[in-house]
Amino acid sequence: MKTRVVLIRGGILVLMATVAFLGHRFGGEAHVRRRIGQQPLAKASCFYCHFVSTDRLPWAKPRPHHDSPAGLAISHDGKRLYIALDDRDEVAEADIGTRKVLRRAKVPGGPYGLALDTSGKRLFVTCRQADRLALLDTGTLKETGSLPVGMGPAAVAFCRTAAGDRLIVANSMSDDVSVISLAPLKELGRPAAGREPFAVAATSDGARAFVANRLVGLSSIKTMPASEVTVIDPATARVIRRDALESAHLSEGVGLDESRSWALTPLVKVRNMVPITQVAGGWVMSSGLAISDLKRGDVVQIPLDEANDYFADPSAVAVDAAGHRAFVASGGADVVTVVDLDRLSAWLQKANAAERKEAIYDLSLSAEFVVARIPTRRNPRSLVLSPDGATLLVAERLEDSILVVDANKLVPLGRIVLGDGGMDDPIRRGERMFTTAAYTFQHQFSCRSCHPDGHVDGLSYDFDGDGIGDNLLDNRSLQGVAGTGPFKWNGKNATLEIQCGPRFAKVLMRTDPFPPKQLRDLTTFIRSLPPPRVARNKDGKLTPSQERGRAIFYATKTPDGKEIPLSRRCVTCHAPPLYSVRLPFNIGTKGQHDSTEAFDTPHLLGVADTAPYLHDGRAQSLEELWTIYNTNDLHGVSSYMNKIQLNDLVEFLKTL
Amino acid sequence: MLVLTQTPRRAGSGAARDRLDLSYPAGSRVVIAAAPWSAPTVHVLSEGLHSAGGPVLSYDGERVYFVGKIGVESDWQVYEARVGGGHQRMVTSMPGGAAAPALLPDGSVAFASPVPRLGHPGATVPQPQLYAQLPGGQPRRLTFGTSGVADPTVLPDGRILFVSATPSGSAASPRGLSLFTINNDGTEITGFACQHDPPAVIGRPRLLPDGRVAFLASGLESAMAEDSAECVRTARPFLSRTNLLPGLKARVRSVGPDGEGGLLVCAENLQSAWTVYRVGRNEEALGAPLMPEDASWNCVEAVAARASQRPMGRISSMDSTKKTGQILCLNANDTTYKGAETQAGAVATRVRVLAELSPGRCRSLGEVPVQEDGSFMAEVPADTPLGFEALNQEGEILRRVEPVVWVRPGENRSCTGCHAAHNRAPHNHRPLAVYADVPCLRTEPGPSQAQKTP
């Protein structure tokens, strides 16, 4: 039986190869020309259009799961630690004293963010993959309730207001915040946040909740990007203020120093508008902390790096109750940075307005207030302090462990072991490569610094390999990228190994390339990333608007019966199931400083979540693709569309 | 185990003709010494050489590289010997000799050549430059400045740290030495430290485990840096220069990490004998010598004979098919230049690019416009010492950098400003210069061309 299967498969392969060879030799190009309605601008493979199935792609296949700690919550007596294990659909409870896991509970939907109520009897869990909030009884560790929230809830905070108890949930994929009352359990409002709200903290009096947003708002390379800290009134579910963090993003944590009325947000200070001619001197990015001063009403960004060494991907922050110290986990550097808030406050009081504004650019300034760097194992991503401030617990996400630190002496006490680290899994090993800054010059950034969770940072960059100021590039998502090669906007990199290999080391890392084995693991991880999840009706059916949009996408004629040329139909180049025929096309977007007019056709899986668009990120929204940048109908015939038809098309694209 | 340079306490009468003759007089040798330190066993690694010194260890701790010469009239060259024993092997054969070996992560040996004649490096013609050479390969030149270079060492991030003359504002002012870095292909020449300090002779920089960079220093009149051991911090106060060991009053010939968090120091004692000391992590003065004084030998250099972390490598960004590189300055008016405060309102509108095409002969390659935001770009000849003059509307020179920098073929070199501080990251700003045509400046006579490079 086994031999038969092998023979059949072998036969199919031989047949396919013969067809491919003959097709290429005797009319393949003509066939492609007939299919796309124009002369192909690059050599096509039969497999670009034929035998394509998303089911066979690596991201569609089962993969090993790991005990990766996500959010943490600590009991009010400081004895118990609750750990969200999103990859296992579990929440674990551990004894901090013995450093043992006591029990685990199944919580479906990717439990990620955790918060306890005042009594410590209820644990609130955001389920990032199921768009819901789960309520657990800490006595039984059983789920007692659930409430739908926005898409991709990543974090939750509990607070007590005059109007009643509130939960604030940061919905990372729907870009909003669910404000929930507990009695009765219902969503009071869902105010808009920034892009990808990812962390939340509330003041003890319940007057304010601070939401850190991971991505910048929509921007182009010619405009200053900015993410925001959204300040919300938990009682009324209204936005009070939006603090812009200029040229800063990837904020995944927020902590409060209530003694000074500060909200602290870790950030990556990005310099995407500057041509990447070097890495030294913080030329590409650096790490910092934003201090939103509620009394002064301003925001100061301060550096966490040193002039010749960087601590990439600051992702979480915890502040002791007395406001003496802040602890920042740097996921790319495997370090927890300890900031002396008293010294920082003294420096800020002494500094004039110009010095405060320029603080983040001074790479030697951190010596004024950074008092220690605590080494961790791989990828510290969240942390929490015990209520008495004596113990710091750090989630080492890709090590499957929790580091327990004496927060006074700043020495490790031991670890809570959750799993084996998964080093026999190439995907896990690849994720370790993806998230480490150990391979970049002076450890300035990791792959994740531009591709959080393998996705986009919403920015465009100017790499100098092809000339300073030339060929600006929009950062593309790596989610769902398997099977969509060739890569790079000019389609010159046939494989991910080429894309991430020596070329990447030369233009970006400015170090030696990844060693071959590590490179294989890295690309295995990238191929395992599924496309972004999209919002669809629960029954899977399209809305009437989406249906109309679908008809437009597949249209061969305009509504007045005019034939749409084959080469200018959406589906010709964006053919399902990947919605890309993987060939470059001239869609009339060549800019003054572009060296080519032919650009790779991106796949459209999760396209709604990957703004900005076009090769240089000039289109800030899907609408702009046609309203501003398709005046010549080269990027599909769209000039006949009215506002409603365009909206319908966009609504359909959002479902892909 | 330690690798030591021993010089005879009764040196021969031969006159020193170059700096290495002074450091390692006839009979000097490189040895490996093993505990017990009260009566160490010593094995000579430079057997058969007229003199030797300046040892460095390979990252695997297996091999020692040092300089040596076979006869009084022969040139100094870099030699390799195995820690475990065996005959040494000559690695370089540079005309004029090679000095101060350092090891790059790819196995190349970096060194300065030719060996400078007596006096500080600025007194030698031709000026010593840095080279790198793979085992069995040809030397490739890494530096192209007008000043000589000396004492390379490799930082953990892969940059080569070396000593060269401090650029001076005027020809009349005395020129000391300061620290610079380049990448392993000679790109990104950058001032590292001591550029703004009082002029001094400095040498033998070494990175310490706590991130400070230690070096030896002497007054300008000295031929050799040995009067004091100093250090700079790379954190705040940024590059502030201090005594490395405040309690140390003796002359010092070498300082380096001992591999255990402390220091190995070779210093002169009250009896004018040189010996090696181990200084603990938080100690600020020398204690008792590690080894007893040797009646025949001074111990002037000591290196821990152990494996160490290999620095980061770097894939070269050079394009050997090109003869030019590009420079991009984000803001020519962003400066810490000392005279800038007296030039209130003086804004640079043009930058004159200078080149030193032959020693001492500097000429203008042309002027490039400064954009409204202070940025400018130019395509310039590669491997040529370049200088800059910021000019105001009237053509007056506001600031000047003598030809001390260069670009390698195909290199895109950038800076945040003129004399900008090295601890400052750039603002996230799209320089207007990237939208303008790029002036192409050539060394041969003829009009400069403006073009947008493809």
The pLDDT tens digits of the residues spanning A478-519 come to 999 999 989 988 888 999 999 999 988 998 999 999 999 999
Confidence of residue A19 (pLDDT cuts 50, 70, 90): low
CA distance B327 to chain A (A): 9
Question: Residue ranges per domain, chain A?
Answer: 2-62+532-653, 250-451
**pLDDT, mean over chain A:** 93
- Going by C-alpha positions, the residue among B301, B300, B258 that lies closest to residue B281 is B258
- Kindly state whether B107 is in contact with chain A, defined as any CB-CB distance less than 8 angstroms: no
Residues 229-248 of A with CB under 8 A from B: 246-247
- Kindly state whether A503 is in contact with chain B, defined as any CB-CB distance less than 8 angstroms: no
- Going by C-alpha positions, the residue among B193, B275, B205 that lies closest to residue B240 is B193
Confidence of residue A17 (pLDDT cuts 50, 70, 90): low
Quote the pLDDT of residue B453. Answer: 40
Quote the pLDDT of residue B110. Answer: 98
- Kindly state whether A591 is in contact with chain B, defined as any CB-CB distance less than 8 angstroms: no
Instruction: Name the architecture of domain A250-451.
Output: 7 Propeller (2.130)
Q: Which residues fall within 8 angstroms of residue A573, CB to CB, at 6 or more apart?
A: A36, A580, A581, A583, A585, A601
Confidence of residue B238 (pLDDT cuts 50, 70, 90): low
CA distance A84 to B36: 56
Q: Which of B235, B377, B414 sits opposite A367 (nearest CB)?
A: B235
More confident residue, B250 or B326: B326
Widest CA span in chain B: 73
CA distance B353 to B358: 16
> What 8-state DSSP symbol labels residue B137?
S
CA distance A638 to A325: 57
Quote the pLDDT of residue B340. Answer: 55
Quote the pLDDT of residue B344. Answer: 56
The arithmetic mean of pLDDT across residues B43-58, rounded, is 96
Q: Which of A71-75, A527-531, B173-177, B406-410 has the weakest average pLDDT?
A: B173-177
Confidence of residue B446 (pLDDT cuts 50, 70, 90): low
Q: Is the pLDDT of residue B124 over 60?
A: no
What's this model's pTM, rounded to 2 decimal places?
0.93
CA distance A247 to chain B (A): 7
On the CB side of A199, CA atoms within 13 Å amount to 30
Q: Report chain B residues whose CB lies below 8 A from the CB of A441.
A: 157-158, 312, 314
Q: Which of A100-109, A169-178, A378-387, A632-641 has the weakest average pLDDT?
A: A632-641
A278/B188 Cβ within 8 A: yes
CA distance A36 to A582: 12
Q: Is the pLDDT of residue B417 over 90?
A: no
**pLDDT cut 70: percent of chain A above it:** 97
The pLDDT tens digits of the residues spanning A38-53 come to 888 788 788 788 878 8
Confidence of residue A30 (pLDDT cuts 50, 70, 90): confident
Q: Report chain B residues whose CB lies below 8 A from the CB of A221.
A: 430
Q: What is the ipTM of this complex?
A: 0.91
Quote the pLDDT of residue A20. Answer: 59
- Kindly state whether B157 is in contact with chain A, defined as any CB-CB distance less than 8 angstroms: yes
The pLDDT tens digits of the residues spanning A227-248 come to 999 999 999 999 999 999 999 9
The pLDDT tens digits of the residues spanning A451-466 come to 999 999 999 999 888 8
Quote the pLDDT of residue B338. Answer: 59
Quote the pLDDT of residue B237. Answer: 59
B430/A277 Cβ within 8 A: no
Q: Is the pLDDT of residue B167 over 90?
A: no
A363/B428 Cβ within 8 A: no
CA B211 and chain centroid, separation: 17
Q: Which of A33-37, A444-448, A582-586 has the weakest average pLDDT?
A: A33-37
Is the fold of A2-62+532-653 the same as that of A250-451? no
Interface mutation vs chain B, best among A441, A444, A468, most B CBs within 10 Å: A468
Q: Is the pLDDT of residue B129 over 70?
A: yes
CA distance B19 to chain A (A): 32
Closest residue in A to B213 (Cα) is A308
CA distance A74 to chain B (A): 35
Q: Is the pLDDT of residue B120 over 80?
A: no
Quote the pLDDT of residue A631. Answer: 83
Q: How many CB atoms lie within 10 A of CB A465?
A: 16
The answer to whether A48 and A71 have CB atoms below 8 angstroms apart is no
B425/A286 Cβ within 8 A: yes
Quote the pLDDT of residue B100. Answer: 96
Q: Which domains does chain B have, with CATH numbers?
A: 2-304 (2.120.10.30), 324-451 (2.60.40)
Residues 299-328 of A with CB under 8 A from B: 303, 306-309
Helix/strand/coil for A452: helix
On the question of a cis peptide bond just before residue B114, with omega within 30 degrees of 0, the verdict is yes
A vs B: CB pairs below 8 A: 136
A595/B414 Cβ within 8 A: no
Q: Report chain B residues whose CB lies below 8 A from the CB of A511.
A: 158, 312-315
Quote the pLDDT of residue A24. Answer: 55
Q: Report chain B residues whose CB lies below 8 A from the CB of A504.
A: none
**pLDDT cut 90: percent of chain A above it:** 83
Q: Is the pLDDT of residue A304 over 60?
A: yes
**pLDDT, mean over chain B:** 88
The pLDDT tens digits of the residues spanning B330-382 come to 999 887 765 655 555 689 999 999 998 887 788 999 999 999 999 999 999 99
Quote the pLDDT of residue B452. Answer: 45
The DSSP line for A33-95 is HHHHTS--SS---GGGTTT--GGGSGGGS----------EEE-TTS-EEEEEETTTTEEEEEE
CATH 1.10.3470 fits A2-62+532-653, yes or no: no
CA distance A361 to chain B (A): 5
Q: Report chain A residues whose CB lies below 8 A from the CB of B430.
A: 221-222, 273-274
Q: Which of A82-91, A214-223, A250-259, B208-217 has the weakest average pLDDT?
A: A214-223
**pLDDT cut 70: percent of chain B above it:** 90
The arithmetic mean of pLDDT across residues A5-24, rounded, is 66
**pLDDT cut 90: percent of chain B above it:** 61
